[in-house]
Chains A and B, each alone.
Chain A
Amino acid sequence: MTTDYHPLVKRLLDGELTLADLPSELRAEGAEALRTIGAADRAPVTFSPALDARVMTVVRRHARSPARRMWAWLNAPREVELRLRVRPWAACAGALAVAAGVVLLLTRVTVPSPSPSPSVPGRGIESQARSGMRDSVLVRFVLYAPGARRVAVAGTFNQWDSHAAPLIRAGTEGVWTTTLALPVGQHHYAFVVDGARWVPDPAATAVDDGFGRRNSVVAVTAQGGRTL
């Protein structure tokens, strides 16, 4: 047996209808619902007169707390009005100076080598980049793989993670390239073509990895990287 009120009775309780608006067969249910809800105690509630004093005692203590005062000062929003008087030519000169600075900064960060050698398809280590960091050297890897959909380089420098260093297509058809900062030392590596085919660098010395696969070797010195 359902105990739900009829939707019209709920509208009666919501004050949208009167008892007279209900169909006669619902009036008894409506009257009962009004009696039930009408029993709610609407008597006002007044708290102890001491409440004000208790609140103000705590408030005064909080107001005196240096930490809270500091936080209130730091957290209080303030309106700041910034007025500038700038001559247009000065604004233009300033903008140009900022742009030149940004360009200079980007150039210093992104140029890997003072004398980059041209890309030659088929050569694995294309150039010996200058030191990018104190103990690492930027080394450029190049692979000619015209039919590949994706190429990555994995080696001892990235724990043989075949996803860590993807190569991107260079301007020449079929040429893939990437530049990595490698620590000084000797590294073994191989290219991973289409996520599955491990290919030694055709331009570098390859050594047996002991598991029937050939890895290439690059020696990185402070002067750059060179294949063995």
Chain B
Amino acid sequence: MGLEGEATDADVVRAVLAGDVERYAVLVRRYRDRYARYASRMLGSADVAEDAVQDALVRAFDRLADCREPDKFAGWLFLILRNRCYAERRRQRREGRPLEPMDEAFAATDRPDGTFERGERRRALERALMDLTPEQREVFVLKHIEGRAYEEIAGLTGATVASLKMRMHRAYDRLRDLMKDHQ
């Protein structure tokens, strides 16, 4: 057995499926923060996002035998987390709870290199993002916060590039409307 850093996702998945449950910790360490920003921006709260990631990692373990391509564990985990984020959003909507504004920890403080105006604009944008549809917010987060290309996002989500661009362009217009007092 190689070192943790050398083991591929597929190696670890196979080991876990063969009964070495403790090896799953390798995948937990590897992916716990990879989608942290995505989940936080999708759910509007780092605490809720942490619960979602924890739940996604446990679900991934429970359904590990269904991971048909173990070397693509990361993308598979992302889909589980994505479903979890959408389910959480639906639950909040059912309960009549609007998405919370972003946590103070990463939204309400001015960055050391920023001016007050930039901080205000950042906070306004975070609030505006919560007013987008989940699909629009997702494509915005993946493109402009995670820095992924449309083709990558299409590969992750299964949507076509054309439909992603349409969502994104509608999101631009909506954001402009929501941000008109901060331009």
Contact = CB atoms under 8 A, between A and B. Distances in A.
Interface in B1-36: 17, 21-22, 24-25, 28-29, 32-33, 36
Nearest to B111: A43
Interface size class of A (residues with CB under 8 A): 35 or more
B137 to A, nearest CB: 11
Interface residues of B, number: 52
B49 interface: yes
Interface stretch (A28-36, A96-104, A180-188): A28-36
Interface SS of chain A: helix, strand, loop or mixed? Answer: helix
A56 B129 CA distance: 33
A47 B32 contact: yes
A32 B172 CA distance: 12
Interface string A1-27: 001110101100110000000000000
B89 interface: no
Contacts of A9: 172
B173 A3 contact: yes
Contacts of A32: 183
Contacts of B24: 56, 59
Interface in A50-85: 51-52, 54-56, 58-60, 62-63, 68, 72, 75-77
Given A3-B180, A47-B32, A56 B172 contact: no
Nearest to B124: A39
A44 interface: yes
Nearest to A73: B65
Contacts of B54: 51, 54-55, 58
A188 to B, nearest CB: 58
Given A44-B37, A47-B50, A56-B24, A39 B176 contact: no
Given A33-B172, A41-B122, A62-B58, A77 B50 contact: no
Contact of B175 (A37, A42, A46, A52): A37
A7 B40 CA distance: 30
A40 interface: yes
A122 to B, nearest CB: 66
A105 interface: no
A107 interface: no
Contacts of B129: 40
A159 interface: no
Interface of A: 3-5, 7, 9-10, 13-14, 32-33, 35-37, 39-48, 51-52, 54-56, 58-60, 62-63, 68, 72, 75-77
